[in-house]
Amino acid sequence: MPSHPYRRCSDLARPVLLTMTAIVVLACGGTLPSAPALVDPREILAAAATQAASATSVHIDLAADGALAIDLTGTGSASTPIKLTDTTAAIDADLARGATRATFSAPGLLGVRGEAIVVDGVSYLKTSLTGPLYRAQPASGAPDASPGVPEPSGRASAGILEGVIAFLKEPGVEPTKNADAPCGGTTCYSVTLKIGAEQLGRLLGGATLPSSVPVPIPDISSATAELTFLVDRQTTRLSGLTAFADLGDSGEITADLTLSKWDVPVTIAAPPADQVQPTS
């Protein structure tokens, strides 16, 4: 016996009515059900690390403050602390390729400004203190890298983030969940992590800056840090990071990082040959 025509119409109308109801709810300021909220701060940070490990690109804006006692004369004695007020950087990172491009300015640090590019296993750096040409050298952390040979997709970021996830599981690493906070027009989880000198060393994994940086790098062997992460509740993408680092006799630094443009395509290329200082 054929089904009743009115029942068939009702069956067809049901999904339409549900869709219209959802549209009305949203138009009136309501929200559809979302994923369950995360409560454990370790899970929040691990989720953000996992998302970052699978990301292809990100943009980072940095603003720093504080003061550093740096031996600018090379005599072995620190000079008057240098203020980092108005120090800024803008960084584009091609995470899949392991390439970055950054512009930076530090008015209190001899007025230095410049640009750094890391691509295909080579770092290129030029600053207002070293002249108009880039200086090239093998990128830190990639001693066997050869120019023109890109890193395998994902290796550059995935390895680092796997280390972060493992670090969060170590005894004595105790992140704290704060009240949710506004971030970039949405709402973020807020998690604070206090790190001692030994833990900070393991987290950094021995990362170093290029030796061509034209200013001395302070000793961080006794440094401690307090990190506050902002993680988007909807996407679990890292949205912001505030870091306070106590460097002991070398001073202290506060840095605010804003992360955006996750997975937005970015092109990072080595500078033209005529803009690179010839090797001697």
Q: Is the pLDDT of residue 252 over 60?
A: yes
pTM of the predicted protein model: 0.74
Q: Is the pLDDT of residue 272 over 90?
A: yes
Q: Name the nearest CA neighbour of 97 among 140, 165, 166, 158.
A: 158
Q: What is the pLDDT of residue 59?
A: 95
Average pLDDT over residues 249-273: 92
Q: Is the pLDDT of residue 154 over 80?
A: no
pLDDT in tens, 30-74: 444 556 789 999 999 999 988 988 899 999 999 999 988 876 555
Q: Is the pLDDT of residue 11 over 60?
A: no
Look at residue 14 and tell me if it is in a domain: no
* Beta carbons within 8 Å of 189's beta carbon, 6+ residues apart: 38, 44, 177, 180, 229, 230, 231, 232, 233
Q: Name the nearest CA neighbour of 42 among 52, 50, 31.
A: 50
Average pLDDT over residues 228-249: 92
Average pLDDT over residues 136-159: 52
Q: What is the pLDDT of residue 16?
A: 42
Look at residue 211 and tell me if it is in a domain: yes
Look at residue 81 and tell me if it is in a domain: yes
* Beta carbons within 8 Å of 115's beta carbon, 6+ residues apart: 101, 102, 103, 104, 125, 126, 134
Q: Higher confidence at residue 164 or residue 69?
A: 69
Q: What is the pLDDT of residue 168?
A: 75
Give the DSSP letter string of 197-251.
HHHHHHHHTT----TT-SSPPPP-TT-EEEEEEEEETTT--EEEEEEEEE-GGGE
CATH of the domain at 258: 2.50.20
Rg of the chain on CA atoms, in Å:
24
Look at residue 89 and tell me if it is in a domain: yes
Q: Is the dihedral of CA 271, 266, 159, 238 positive or negative?
A: positive
Average pLDDT over residues 201-230: 62
Average pLDDT over residues 188-217: 64
Average pLDDT over residues 200-204: 60
Q: Name the nearest CA neighbour of 63 among 259, 257, 260, 251.
A: 257
Q: Is the pLDDT of residue 77 over 70?
A: no
Q: What is the Cα 198 distance to its own chain's centre?
A: 21
Look at residue 130 and tell me if it is in a domain: no
| Structural domain boundaries enclosing 80 | 41-93+153-273
- C-alpha atoms less than 13 angstroms from C-alpha of 246 in its C-beta half-sphere: 9
User: pLDDT exceeding 90 applies to what percent of the chain?
Assistant: 42
Spell out the long-range contacts of 73-79 with Cβ–Cβ below 8 A and sequence spacing 24 or more: 74/216, 78/249, 78/250
Q: Is the dihedral of CA 245, 62, 150, 124 positive or negative?
A: negative
The whole-chain average pLDDT of the chain stands at: 77
Burial of 240 (0-12, 13-18, 19+ CB in 10 A): buried
- DSSP code for 44: H
Q: Higher confidence at residue 110 or residue 100?
A: 100
Look at residue 108 and tell me if it is in a domain: no
User: pLDDT exceeding 70 applies to what percent of the chain?
Assistant: 65
Token pair, residue 184, equals 């970039």
State the virtual CA torsion across 220, 221, 227, 231 in degrees, nearest 10: 90
Least-confidence region, from 36-40, 134-138, 150-154, 237-241:
150-154
Q: What is the pLDDT of residue 64?
A: 93
Q: How many domains does the structure of the chain reveal?
A: 1
